[in-house]
């Protein structure tokens, strides 16, 4: 441990550690398997960040305010008004901005902070998550107490020209049932780390939408530790014309966990890269994990899926599933896939597959033979391609919102 | 009036000539049956009429009311009133049956300068037709044809036909794979739709369907040509004697 002095905060020790680790990594080393298809520099370049420009405003996502609590980040900083309102409305939830943790000598999060990230670092080093570790300017730390049910909607917006590093921590106590929807729009660049601690029997539905008007890159690390009987679902939607990397790392540390990682990306420009890098580690018996990844690509867009299922020798009766699909709408697009299974237990069912192709001509003809014009028929089939991902979302207004976004993007 | 003039069709993929000179005139209100052995080009003809890609027209024309439709896309032909009930209706996972049929109907209405139907108006009409054809509404909430039995798929085709109210209906072996009850259902739908300004081209391999749907004309097709034309008695002749004596 680092020596104490009266000005030093418990987080400082972590910060220093992250910085040291980060500096020991050569980001130009392109031999790393983990960055085989896309260099970290894509999300960490020294290139000037694109200046703010007013883009056509996307239709906003409306939630029933009686069912949802809101938090808003503006240029990477948690808006204090929404935070105050949240505190007033939710007595059984502990919440604190990351910035304010530095003002507190003790905080419940000191027992959890970085634990999920550091566990994941053992299997691969994640330089940009390390970078976040000593650059995060704000974030939100939330403890959902035992049995709490809560729906939360977090908005990230802004127009600054900085790399916004944000750090969140979600602590779900036993039997809590939480939905978190994160929505990105505006022109900022993001490097986000969210840690999740899911206690026994807790349930999380996490859904993230990256709008098409995001004019800079986003890298989002989601590190989760899942205990007995927890059910964790994370669903990602990306419509960005810029690089997006979703890194999802879930450690299933209790028996009977169920996890789903579902992602869809719609790339319509050469500059668009949708990268899903997923690592699911089965540490205990009888856990289920599913990964469903779908990317539709046109005009030179690129998508990447690196998905690994690791099964420890203790993790008998693991049920692991992984499927990725690419819908290639023009010849100049690429969907690069690297599935991996690493299994040390013998009583295990794990399957994986990847299929890419164009729109099915017979399907198109069938729809058109009923009078549906080509573009509408394409729209229907692209929506059908994504339907499996949309089926994972429990909120109808999100489903409609996504369907509209898809529909808008096809006509573009 | 629907007219096929000296039609010659190649399948582009294999550069093979399948249709070699077909002439057929179908007046409003008429029901024509085409019978013929497997592989004689009946499905190829139906695909060509509805504008499927990959069917190269080497020679000839297809006209609706004296105007060629060769340059029309499949969806334009459909909106002009041409409907094909597929021999093998396909399953399309992820596309909801109801939203598909509504989009189809509204696309055609839009093409023809009519107001689109709102969901309530649509459902009302759909329910009526589904009831009449004994199609389960619950089934229609599923993705398009996914998990439907053979008979259900065929009935779904007839339901779409009843909703879209085309002027020229092509039924490609709608009877194949149906038991007698299902065939009666389908025939009931077709007979109900028969009217003086709607015409039918019924492709079938067996005569039995024609016991339920009485044709005005029966054509025998072989090797991409119509080799004989007659009335309903021609279908009975085929039923009793087979095709071989006609082929020589
Ligand atoms: N896509 C295709 N590629 C190659 N040959 C085809 C194709 N479709 C049909 N054919 C051939 O064309 C002929 C006519 O087929 P089809 O029109 O399906 O006959 P029918 O419906 O009368 O049984 C057959 O010899 C069949 O093998
Ligand atoms: Mg056929």
Residue B204 lies in a domain: yes
Q: Which residue is closest in CA terms to ligand 1's atom 26?
A: B39
pLDDT band at residue B174 under the 50/70/90 scheme: very high
CB contact under 8 A, A369 and B90: no
What integer pLDDT is reported at residue A107 of this predicted model? 93
pTM: 0.91
- Calculate how far, in angstroms, residue B146's C-alpha sits from the geometric centre of ligand 2: 22
Locate the chain B residue with the closest alpha carbon to A387.
B94
d(CA B245, nearest CA chain A) in Å: 37
In whole angstroms, what is the distance from residue A368 CA to residue A375 CA? Answer: 10
Query: Is the model's pLDDT at A333 over the cut of 60?
Result: yes
Ligand nearest to the CA of B37: 1
- Which residues on A lie below 8 Å from B107 (Cβ)? 370-373, 376
Distance, CA of B82 to CA of B3 (rounded, Å): 12
Q: What is the pLDDT of residues A120-170, one digit of tens each?
A: 988 888 999 999 999 999 999 999 999 999 999 999 998 887 889 999 999
Distance A119 CA to ligand 1 centre (A): 60
**Range picked from A311-325, B6-20, B133-147 for highest mean pLDDT:** A311-325
Which of the residues A325, A364, A371 would you substitute to probe the B interface, choosing the one with the greatest number of B C-beta atoms within 10 Å? A371
- Give the atom of ligand 1 at the shortest distance from the alpha carbon of B224: 14
Q: Is the pLDDT of residue A1 over 50?
A: no
In a domain, B8, yes or no: yes
Ligand nearest to the CA of B47: 1
Averaged pLDDT of chain A: 91
- Highest-pLDDT range among A88-92, B92-96, B205-209: B92-96
Is B113 a member of any domain? Answer: no
Q: Which of A369, A373, A380 sits opposite B95 (nearest CB)?
A: A380
Spatial distance between the Cα atoms of A59 and A408, rounded to a whole number of angstroms: 10
DSSP assignment string, A248-311:
EEEEE-STT-EEEEEEEEEE-STT-EEEEEEEEEE-STT-EEEEEEEEEE-TT-EEEEEEEEEE
- Cα B137–Cα B142–Cα B147 angle in degrees, nearest 5: 110
Out of A86-95, A403-412, B8-17, B32-41, pick the least confident. A403-412
Q: What is the CA radius of gyration of chain A?
A: 21
Q: Which domain CATH number covers B232?
A: 3.40.50.300
Quickly state the pLDDT bin for A51 (edges 50, 70, 90): low
Q: Best mutation site among A325, A366, A370 for testing chain B: the one with the most B CBs within 10 Å? A: A370
Q: Is A251 exposed, middle or buried (0-12, 13-18, 19+ CB in 10 A)?
A: buried
Measured between CA atoms, how close is A397 to chain B, in angstroms? 18
Question: Residue B109: inside a domain, yes or no?
Answer: no
- Burial string for A325-334 (b: 16+ CB within 10 Å, else e) reads bbbbbeeebb
Indicate the DSSP class of residue B40: S
Lowest mean pLDDT, pick from B139-143, B164-168, B239-243: B239-243
Residue B100 domain-assigned?
no
> B114 in a domain, yes or no?
no
Q: Which residues line ligand 1 (CB under 6 A)?
A: B 11, 13-14, 16, 18, 36, 38-44
Interstrand relation of A93-97 and A140-144 (parallel, antiparallel or unpaired) = antiparallel
Region of B16 on the Ramachandran plot (φ > 0 left; ψ -120 to 50 alpha; else beta) = beta
pLDDT of B57 over the 60 cut: yes
Question: What pLDDT is attached to residue A354?
Answer: 96
pLDDT digits (tens, 9 = 90+) for B216-225: 999 999 999 9
Asked whether the predicted pLDDT for residue A48 surpasses 60, the reply is no
Rounded to whole angstroms, the maximal C-alpha distance in chain A is: 77
**Quick one: pLDDT band at residue A4, thresholds 50, 70, 90?**
very low
Please report whether residue B102 resides in a domain: no
Q: Which atom of ligand 1 is nearest to the CA of B173?
A: 21
Q: How many CA atoms lie within 13 A of A135 on its CB side?
A: 19
Residues of B with CB below 8 A from A368's CB?
51, 73-75, 78
Closest of B202, B203, B174, B199 to residue B40, by C-alpha? B203
Alpha-carbon separation of residue A355 from A278, A292, A323 (angstroms): 18, 12, 8
Residue closest by Cα to atom 3 of ligand 1: B14
Rounded-to-integer distance, Cα A277 and Cα A247, Å: 5
Pick the closest to residue B93 from A220, A384, A142, A410 (CA basis). Answer: A384
- Residue B223: domain span: 2-94+168-247
Protein residue with its CA nearest to atom 4 in ligand 1 = B14
Kindly state the average pLDDT of the residues A347-372. Answer: 96
| Count: domains in chain B | 1
Return phi, psi of residue B154, to 5°: -65, -40
Which chain B residue's Cα is nearest to A378?
Answer: B95
Indicate if the pLDDT at residue A371 is higher than 50: yes
pLDDT at A412 over 70: no
Q: What is the band of B6 on the pLDDT scale with cuts at 50, 70, 90? A: very high
Query: How far apart, in Å, are the Cα atoms of A279 and each of A112, A289, B177, B247?
Result: 20, 11, 48, 66
Q: Give the per-residue pLDDT at A50.
A: 65
**Cβ-based contacts of A400 with chain B (< 8 Å):** none
- Which residue's C-alpha comes closest to atom 6 of ligand 1? B11
Rounded to the nearest angstrom, the distance between the alpha carbon of A393 and the centre of ligand 2 is 42
Task: Give the list of residues 6+ apart from residue B10 with CB closer than 8 angstroms, or none.
Answer: B16, B17, B18, B55, B56, B58
* Of B128, B151, B126, B154, residue with least CA distance to B140: B126
Q: Is B19 among the domain residues? A: yes
Measured between beta carbons, the chain B residues lying within 8 angstroms of A366 are 86, 89-90, 92
Closest atom, ligand 1, to C-alpha of B172: 21
Nearest-by-CA chain B residue for A365: B52
ipTM value for the complex: 0.97
* B74: closest chain A residue by CA: A369
In sequence order, what are the beta bridge partners of A137? none
Give pLDDT, residue A390. Answer: 95
Summarize pLDDT for A203-241 with one digit per residue, the tens: 999 999 998 888 889 999 999 999 999 999 999 999 999
Mean residue pLDDT of chain B comes to 94
Decide: A195 and A169 in contact? Cβ < 8 Å. Answer: yes
Over residues A301-314, mean pLDDT: 97
User: Measured in angstroms, how far is the CA atom of residue B45 from the centroid of ligand 2?
Assistant: 9
């Amino acid at each position: 441990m680092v020596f104490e002095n009266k000005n030093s905060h418990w987080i400082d020790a972590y910060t220093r550690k992250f910085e040291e680790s980060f500096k020991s990594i050569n980001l130009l080393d392109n031999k790393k398997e983990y960055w085989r298809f896309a260099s970290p520099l894509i999300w960490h370049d020294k290139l000037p960040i694109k200046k703010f420009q007013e883009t056509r405003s996307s239709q906003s996502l409306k939630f029933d305010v009686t069912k949802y609590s809101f938090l808003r980040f503006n240029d990477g900083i948690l808006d204090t008004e929404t935070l105050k309102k949240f505190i007033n409305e939710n007595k059984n939830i502990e919440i604190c901005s990351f910035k304010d943790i530095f003002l507190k000598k003790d905080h419940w999060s000191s027992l959890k902070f970085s634990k999920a990230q550091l566990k994941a670092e053992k299997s691969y080093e994640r330089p940009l998550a390390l970078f976040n570790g000593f650059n995060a300017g704000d974030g939100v730390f939330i403890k959902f107490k035992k049995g709490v049910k809560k729906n939360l909607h977090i908005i990230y917006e802004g127009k600054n020209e900085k790399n916004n590093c944000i750090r969140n921590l979600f602590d779900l106590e036993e039997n809590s049932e939480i939905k978190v929807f994160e929505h990105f729009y505006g022109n900022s660049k993001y490097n986000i780390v969210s840690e999740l601690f899911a206690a026994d029997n807790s349930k999380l539905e996490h859904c993230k939408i990256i709008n098409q008007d995001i004019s800079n890159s986003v890298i989002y690390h989601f590190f989760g530790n899942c205990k007995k009987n927890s059910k964790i679902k994370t669903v990602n939607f990306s419509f960005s014309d810029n690089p997006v990397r979703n890194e999802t790392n879930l450690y299933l540390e209790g028996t009977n966990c169920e996890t789903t990682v579902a992602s869809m990306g719609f790339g319509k420009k050469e500059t668009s890269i949708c990268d899903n890098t997923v690592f699911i580690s089965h540490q205990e018996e009888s856990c289920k994990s599913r990964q469903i990844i779908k990317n539709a690509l046109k005009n030179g867009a690129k998508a990447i899926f690196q998905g690994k299922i690791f099964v420890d020798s203790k993790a008998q009766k693991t049920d692991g599933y992984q499927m990725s699909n690419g819908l290639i709408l023009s010849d100049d697009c690429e969907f690069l896939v690297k599935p991996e299974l690493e299994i040390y237990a013998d009583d295990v069912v794990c399957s994986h597959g990847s299929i890419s192709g164009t729109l099915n001509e017979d399907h198109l003809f069938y729809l058109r033979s009923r009078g549906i014009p080509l573009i509408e028929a394409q729209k229907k089939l692209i929506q059908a391609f994504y339907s499996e991902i949309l089926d994972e979302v429990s909120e109808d207004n999100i489903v409609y919102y996504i369907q509209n976004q898809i529909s808008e993007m096809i006509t573009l | 009036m629907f007219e096929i003039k000296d039609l010659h069709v190649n399948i582009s993929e294999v550069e093979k000539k399948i249709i070699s000179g077909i002439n057929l005139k179908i007046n409003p209100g008429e029901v024509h049956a085409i019978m013929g052995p497997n592989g004689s080009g009946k499905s190829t003809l139906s695909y060509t009429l509805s504008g499927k890609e990959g069917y190269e027209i080497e020679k000839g024309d297809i006209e609706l009311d004296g105007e060629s439709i060769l340059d029309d896309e499949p969806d334009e032909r459909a909106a002009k009133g041409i409907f094909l009930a597929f021999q093998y209706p396909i399953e399309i996972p992820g596309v909801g049956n109801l939203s598909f049929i509504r989009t189809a109907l509204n696309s055609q209405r839009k093409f023809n300068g009519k107001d689109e139907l709102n969901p309530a108006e649509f459902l009302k009409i759909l329910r009526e037709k589904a009831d009449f054809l004994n199609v389960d509404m619950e089934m229609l909430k599923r993705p398009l044809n996914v998990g439907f039995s053979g008979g259900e798929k065929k009935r779904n085709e007839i339901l779409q036909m009843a909703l879209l109210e085309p002027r020229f209906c092509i039924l490609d072996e709608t009877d194949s794979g149906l038991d007698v009850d299902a065939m009666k259902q389908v025939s009931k739908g077709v007979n109900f739709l028969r009217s003086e300004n709607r015409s039918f081209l019924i492709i079938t391999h067996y005569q039995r369907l024609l016991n339920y749907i009485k044709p005005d004309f029966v054509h025998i097709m072989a090797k991409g040509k119509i080799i004989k034309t007659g009335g309903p008695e021609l279908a009975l002749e085929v039923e009793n004697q087979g095709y071989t004596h006609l082929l020589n």
